[in-house]
Amino acid sequence: MKLTLTGINFNYTNGFNAEYTDVKLNFNSSGGTFNSSGYVTVTKDQYSDAAGDPVKLVSLVKQQVIASLDQDA
């Protein structure tokens, strides 16, 4: 299954005059027997570590999706 990053949205919980607080990474999947799409929310530090590298960002999305699936099991 291939995950494609489709958008990056910065959340400003403390208002637009403050730094962003976290990031929503929007994604779609293709090539599997089921579809998955939506967003995952990552911390500012997680985003900063992966920013600028599409492979790292998609990996971060995968990690968050798997963690979410494991949490609901």
Q: Do 22 and 15 meet the contact criterion of CB atoms below 8 Å apart?
A: no
Question: Which 3 state secondary structure label does DSSP give 48?
Answer: helix
Q: pTM for this one? A: 0.88
Dump pLDDT digits (tens) for 26-62: 999 998 888 889 999 999 999 999 999 999 999 999 9
Tens digit of each residue's pLDDT (9 = 90 or more) over 2-25? 999 999 999 999 999 999 999 999
At 27, the amino acid letter reads: F
pLDDT of residue 72: 64
Nearest alpha carbon to residue 25 among 69, 51, 66, 15? 51
